[in-house]
Amino acid sequence: MDYRNLGKTGLKVSPLCLGTMNFGWVANEPDSYAIMDRALEHGINFFDTADVYGAWTTHAGACEELVGRWLAQGGDRRDAIVLATKVYNPVVRKEGRAEPNRDTRCYSRLKIIRHCEDSLRRLGTDRIDLYQFHHIDRDCPMDELWEAMDVLQQQGKVAYVGSSNFAGWDIAHACMAARAMNKPGLASEQSVYNLDNRMVELEVIPACRGFGLGLIPWSPLAGGLLGGYLEKMKEGRRAGKQKNKLAAAKRKQIERYETLCRELGEKPADVAHAWLLANPVVTAPIIGPRTIEQLDDALHALDLNLEPKTMEELDAIFPGPGGEAPNAYAW
């Protein structure tokens, strides 16, 4: 495994990040444990979760609790991984009146510190290696966010700070605010990024490059559209109505894409991951395997180097926004 630095930091992470959002429901708990164990066997040391994961099944925080039970099995599990989680969403719902500093999507120094303590408890650990702002809250002063993170870092509870779903100017604002306070600033940005959704190329990727952030793409397979969707449909697999509607609207593109992948002799998912990994700003796409077999298959993308001609063909199929701003839309 060739490890990469997370942005400008000295933190070494694997070039694939294990996403845990499917754990506990799409993959049951024993299977989730097995996937995490296999990830370590492969040398994948970068694990990503969030305090809100599990809210759509049993309760918010359920995923962190599952990861915590896996860590509690001992061995060198905790020290072997770079553990990332997030803060922003409501986690604990109480009966009756909602508590604004816990039960709403927002930030405050009080909420960040409180939610960090809750995540540490659920995960059964004394530190979070990468604590990420899950979304932007423009009603909270950026200085207040950094004051909260400074407290947690001084206490040794947080090692690095990242963002997720930030606009380019949010990244710049956050990094400049940190610089004014003599703080390291953001280490990474986690954004949706894949062949079918390239909007971050306008301003987020330039901001990451300019401020030295590592980009962690989520949904690298566009919710399965880039994972051999049409071929799987021919095999009789089912998908939801919304996914089928989206696939129908993009059918010509997906057909061209899957044809190209067949010509290359590669699986569509591997090509999609390899395309992301070819971008020097990208640190590690987040993979969300539901089985050990899917995890094993994902490793092939690390050995797949796409030729310039192939990259051009992919650009022709999925042209993106036309480059970086402002050149993408102005002279």
* Mean of pLDDT over the chain: 94
Among 20, 13, 11, 69, CA closest to 295? 20
Domain-embedded: residue 328: no
Determine which of 3-17, 204-218, 235-249 has the lowest per-residue pLDDT on average. 235-249
Q: Is residue 146 part of a domain?
A: yes
Q: What is the pLDDT of residue 236?
A: 62
* CATH number of the domain residue 111 falls in: 3.20.20.100
Q: Which of 3, 33, 53, 88 is catalytic?
A: 53
The answer to whether residue 145 is domain-embedded is: yes
CA-closest candidate to residue 115, choices 130, 129, 131: 131
* 325 belongs to a structural domain: no
Whether residue 97 has pLDDT greater than 70: no
For residue 183, give every residue at least 6 positions away whose Cβ sits within 8 Å of its Cβ, in sequence order, or none.
146, 149, 150
Band the pLDDT of 58: cuts 50, 70, 90. confident
Two structure tokens written together for 118? 């809750």
Q: Could you give the number of structural domains in the chain?
A: 1
Nearest Cα to 17, choosing from 50, 54, 59, 65? 50
Residue 53 a catalytic site member: yes
Query: What is the maximal distance between C-alpha atoms in the chain?
Result: 60
What domain range includes position 155? 4-317
By the 8 A CB rule, do 250 and 196 touch?
Answer: yes
pLDDT attached to residue 248: 85
Percent of the chain residues past pLDDT 70, beyond the cut: 96
**Is residue 249, in this structure, part of any structural domain at all?**
yes
pTM of the model: 0.94
Decide if 14 is inside a domain. Answer: yes
Residue 329 covered by a domain: no
Q: Is residue 330 part of a domain?
A: no
